[in-house]
Amino acid sequence: MNLMQGNILLLILILWPICTSIIGYILGTRSKTARDIWADAVCLSEFAVMAGLLIRAFGGGDTLYLDIDGVCGLGIHLMADGFRCVYGTVAALMWACAAVFSREYFTQYRNRNRFYMFFLMTFGATMGVFLSADLFTAFIFFEIMSFTSFVWVAHDETEEAMSAAYTYLAVAIIGGLVTLMGLFMLYDMLGTLTLSQIPSEIEKIRNTWPKPYITEYGGAITPSRLYLVGGLTAFGFAVKAGVWPMHIWLPKAHPVAPASSSALLSGILTKSGIFGIIAITCNMFAQDIPWGRTILILGAVTMFTGALLAMFSVNLKRTLACSSMSQIGFIMTGTGMYPILSEIAKEESVMAAHGTVLHMINHSLIKLVLFMAAGVIFMNIHKLDLNEIRGYGRKKPLLKICFAIGALSISGIPFTSGYVSKTLLHEAIALGKEASIISRGMGLTGLLSVIEWVFLISGGMTLSYMLKLFIAIFVEKNTDERLQEEYDSQRPYMRTESVLSIVIPAGIMLLMGLGPNMIMGRTATLCEGFWFAGSGTADQLVIHFYSWESISGALISITIGLFLYVFVIRGTYINEGRILSVFLAEHSLFIRSDNEGRNVYVNMWPKFLDLEELIYRPLLLKILPGILGFVSALISQIMDSFIVIMRRTIHRQKATRVDTGSMDDHLAVVTGRLLDRYIPKKDKTSYIPGLVMREEQGARTQRLISSSLSFGLILVSIGLIMVLIYTLAAT
């Protein structure tokens, strides 16, 4: 029997970072420079191989695959089709940039060896998720990834970091277990977890509906059961992606994690969650409107909540984290539109697919740049509060341009990459709305109109909070002038390798935006295979990105964004035809004057709405363990209490208390005297005290045994009574 079939390269791609992480650790104990170079080399080599695979895929190379039987029971199945190559490459690029950037960032940190080890391990595991061909493999690597990335969040070991890390771990474990339950049920239902085999199995089940499908073992599969299984399986992935209401770990973990890990957490680890959701959606619910609707609604809520929280926050990294959450919402919207479009307007579903994939890639790169820019600020001044870092970016053109590229792109300004993906997503919603008027009732149309507006408003909010960050950091001066001078005079504020690690992804993003159909269109087409496994191939997509129709959506968003920034965040108001208090914020909720008359950003973070403190923590740490613990303690005591009661009643035994003084030690005294007389010790001391002690010890032990023996006898008698009762009953 051949245990391994296919191309071994795929396994090497996963094992290479995992194995080298340990070498890196050992190297690190000798030389820190060697370890840094080693980590860079590993990431870059991995990137080179992945890029090679991607180019091969662009050139129309066949899909690589690898099956290893028996690993963890079901075996591991890997493949590298278009989407997997693209995302593997993105992941490798991000890791390479983050590794290079970490070198300077971590100069003053403790436990760096540990960080690098888990950095590389997580890399391998993440590659495993993105290369997996079945849900089982995806789950295995997903869990490894969750656990190893925990160390990143906790790295600082401060109180906040530990609290965030515990939240991260708890959320990851709970999510993982729920997904596991889903996988149990899915495997039971279909007998396979291989993605390519799921659609046909699901088809079989759907064909028998409305009569429930009966499985081999007599289980009945009704539609509700299918949704339950799908929902459970998707849960863990959604948690990792940061979908509302399981987003709690995102805004907590990012501000405390080191910059390079924040970039990866938000740029790529959340995407592994999205990967799982897409895999489930495309293969199990490819044309299922209720499923799509649920994803869509969750996506919309996530998108809006994230944007709102981002507007409220004054912590740079927390704002970026909330922004990630919001962008995940955008991606989810695309994912949700896919099954809806597949059902009501088949030929347009490709729009949703392209939009989703491109927004994933964009968001990965954008967040890489933005978080590393935040990292540059943090490693220089160790502050993240907007009021404190205000004005830091003035006179630092390189940082300013990179941040601006990211900010513009994420806000969907025309001629950036973000514009392309957001336009596609918007088009998908608009097309879905049109098609739903014809084919479905008003319910779907109404929902889609609402979603469209939420989409546009959230897009506007994205612009407004990015403006808030940009203006605060790069335009305004710090309220403390001496500090501002200090900021301005800081030279150099980052090393060459760190510059490269930020400029390269920013440059790629710029290129992508300038040639939308050439780079992004081709990339998205390459990814189609992953989506259409469940519903056949799609038509070629041609989009005129700069037609009026496409651009109008972006313009609406931009208008909303500017309006929000100027009138809500800045608090500008118009009085008797004159614009008052532009940038002088007496009337804004977001900027207030402090005691000394300086304008400061107000922390509007809604603590009281924190789902974690409000619901999850009390529920999971107090209420449930309290109740369950009480019941368990009761149950656990049943047998012991029964025995104690028996001893006190039937056996009339008093509590076992042994008084040392109360015993007669005649034997010890007598023998001691005899021994003293006939065999005296050399040092003339008496045998008696020692013997007395021994006798008392013996007596005590004996008493213990006899009292316990009686309780054994009780058990025997209970057994005998049972025999008696049975014999009586039987005769």
Partner 1 sequence: MNKDYVLIIPILFPILAGIVACFLGKMHLGQKGQRLYETVCLIVEVCLTFMCFTGNKALDIWKLTTDITISLKVDDLSRIFAGLTVIVWLLVGIYAFEYLEDDPKSNLFFGFYLITEGLIAALSFADNMITFYMFFEMMTLMSVPLVMHDGTHEAIMAGLKYLFYSIAGAFLTLFGIFMLIPYGVLGSFTAGGIMNMEALAGHDLRLMISAICMIIGLGTKAGMFPMHAWLPTAHPEAPAPASAVLSGVITKTGVLGIIRTVYFCIGSRLIAGTWVQNTWIVLSLITVIMGSMMAYREKQLKKRLAYSTVSQVSYIMFGLAVMNGTAFMGAVAHVVFHSLIKTTLFLMSGAVIHKTGHHLVSELKGTGKEMPITMWCYTIVSIALVGIPPLSGFVSKWYIATGALMSGEKPYSWIGPVALLISALLTAGYLLSISIQGFMPGADYDYEHLENKEPSAYMYIPMILMTIATIFLGIVPGGLTRIIDTIANTIF
Q: List contacts with partner 1 (CB under 8 A).
A: 69-74, 110, 139-140, 143-144, 147, 154, 156-159, 161-162, 165-166, 169, 173-174, 176-178, 180-181, 184-185, 187-188, 215, 217-220, 625, 628-629, 632-633, 635-640, 700-701, 704-705, 708-709, 711-712, 715-716, 719, 722-723, 726, 730
CB of 632 to partner 1, least distance (A): 4
Judged by CB, which is closer to partner 1: 637, or 686?
Answer: 637
The values of phi and psi at residue 683, to 5°, are -90, 15
538 CB-side CA count, 13 A = 28
Distance CA 390, CA 265 (A): 25
CB of 367 to partner 1, least distance (A): 26
Tokens representing 93 are: 């690029």
Judged by CB, which is closer to partner 1: 542, or 635?
Answer: 635
CB of 171 to partner 1, least distance (A): 12
Judged by CB, which is closer to partner 1: 141, or 312?
Answer: 141
Query: What is the H or E stretch that residue 214 is in?
Result: strand 213-214
Distance CA 611, CA 283 (A): 32
Judged by CB, which is closer to partner 1: 33, or 636?
Answer: 636
Q: Which residue has tokens 């490693």? A: 379
Judged by CB, which is closer to partner 1: 14, or 405?
Answer: 14
Best CA proximity match to 143, nearest among 185, 114, 179, 113: 179
CB of 154 to partner 1, least distance (A): 5
Q: What is the 3-state secondary structure (H, E, C) of 66-127?
A: EEECCCCCCCEEEEECHHHHHHHHHHHHHHHHHHHHHHHHCCCCCCHHHHHHHHHHHHHHHH
The alpha helices in 546-665, defined as continuous H runs, are 548-563, 611, 617, 624-649
Local structure of 600: helix, strand or coil: strand
CB of 60 to partner 1, least distance (A): 34
Q: Could you tell me if 128 and 144 are in contact, meaning their C-beta atoms sit under 8 angstroms apart? A: yes
Judged by CB, which is closer to partner 1: 154, or 448?
Answer: 154
CB of 456 to partner 1, least distance (A): 40
Judged by CB, which is closer to partner 1: 609, or 724?
Answer: 724
195 CB-side CA count, 13 A = 30
Tokens representing 94 are: 């991000």
CB of 660 to partner 1, least distance (A): 12
Judged by CB, which is closer to partner 1: 157, or 481?
Answer: 157
Distance CA 286, CA 624 (A): 37
Judged by CB, which is closer to partner 1: 162, or 566?
Answer: 162
Distance CA 494, CA 520 (A): 31
Q: Could you tell me if 79 and 116 are in contact, meaning their C-beta atoms sit under 8 angstroms apart? A: no
Judged by CB, which is closer to partner 1: 56, or 703?
Answer: 703
CB of 249 to partner 1, least distance (A): 15
Distance CA 169, CA 153 (A): 9
Q: Could you tell me if 203 and 160 are in contact, meaning their C-beta atoms sit under 8 angstroms apart? A: no
Any residues with CB less than 8 A from the CB of 414 and at least 6 apart, and which?
546, 551, 554
